[in-house]
Amino acid sequence: MRRDLLLSLILVAIVPIRVGASKSATSKNDDDIWCQNPHGKNVEWFIMYKAPKTASTNRSMQRYELRGSEYGYFDSENPADSQAFLDGGNNIYLDRNNSLANTLRRIFRQNSSDNAELVYIVYNDQPPPGMSNSTSNGHTKGVVIFGARTGLWIVHSVPRFPDKLFTGKYSFPNSARENGQTIICTTFNIDKLNTIAAHLRKQNPTMYAASAPAALRSKYKELDLLFNKTFNPEEPFVAIDVLQAINGTAFTAFAKNGRLNKDIYSGVLAPTLETNLFVESWQNGNGGKLFPDLLDKYKVVDVKEIALRVGQKVMRWNSHEDHSKWAIGNETDWVCIGSINRMKSQFKRGGETLCLQHSVVHGLFAKAMVKHASYSIDKIRTCGRVL
């Protein structure tokens, strides 16, 4: 796919921004659902990168021991000259000053009946204990919550999350402490709900908590098909849409069906975005590691060591301890955060990746790359192309 196709998609996606949508307001009305910052203020989007609990064999790499609760945070309101992720308060498990807890408070409140007028969809290929899953379903994790006017879409890498819904208290799984994880939240107008539902249908997600008012199911055909579990395995096996977020930021969304039978990074993202990619994803186990294909026009190379700058600290760990899924362009400022790994076993699994062009966020992830398995990162940057 060529850049002119991508540009045409962007032009189609641009629609007027809803008047009255305040970036600084605190959303209390269930008609207006937003991603929220650590102080409960509305933001167009945010990214969280949780550090792993430091393995004893790797403590020599650390400047201090990591507990698996620390995280870096960045959102649409942060300064353009930011040189590091913001310190997330060092504990993703606490609900105080926690962007994730603020954003998801509606599905953690006491009664599910309080959400009767909301659309909410909670899905995870590794659902909480006691809930069924299937390896034939998509390798995809996320949360969708929409009110009458606006809503949010979270794409993340955290197994068994969210759990303990409608208990009156935020919860983050202790099982996620061991590994690094990424989370992206984006706020959209209600008119993007149908496209988001179409992306979920393409992925075949494991949904374990979901509800939608009858009126919205009638209005949005893709949403109704999704709730009827009428998934979409037909060609094209990849859905690519440019979704304009609430304040105008363009996100390119890629949904892959398992019938594509390809790596989403080398087979879809790199040629569509027309860039070489550095990718961090889970590569442990017997899933089948992938290596750069020198015949590809755009190369995809795996990151093997991370040194994340968070406030005044540098948190460093090995890729084997990182369950996150992110990619950045080499010569471009593309940043992608998703749910699917770069392994052979993922060829036949569905999944989602959200990409945006953002020079500051790109720079933060680029600084976090310390080591690649086969190539010197500095040499690759100097050459300009991965060869």
How is residue 355 written in tokens? 């990409």
**Rounded to an integer, what distance in angstroms lies between the CA atom of residue 321 and that of residue 323?**
7
C-alpha distances out from residue 364 to 22, 333, 339, 378, Å: 27, 11, 20, 16
Secondary structure of residue 155 in the 3-state scheme? strand
Measure the CA angle with vertex 324, ends 253 and 168; round to 5°: 85
DSSP of 62-92, one letter per residue? -SS--BS--EEEEETTS-TT--SBEE-TT-T
323 carries an active-site annotation? yes
Burial class (CB in 10 A: 0-12, 13-18, 19+), 319: buried
The closest of 192, 137, 127 to 162, measured between CA atoms, is: 127
* CA dihedral for 349, 352, 357, 359, sign (positive or negative): negative
C-alpha distances out from residue 12 to 7, 191, 251, Å: 9, 13, 13
**Rounded to an integer, what distance in angstroms lies between the CA atom of residue 65 and that of residue 281?**
22
**Rounded to an integer, what distance in angstroms lies between the CA atom of residue 19 and that of residue 9?**
24
Catalytic choice (323, 358, 362, 372): 323
Positions marked active-site: 323
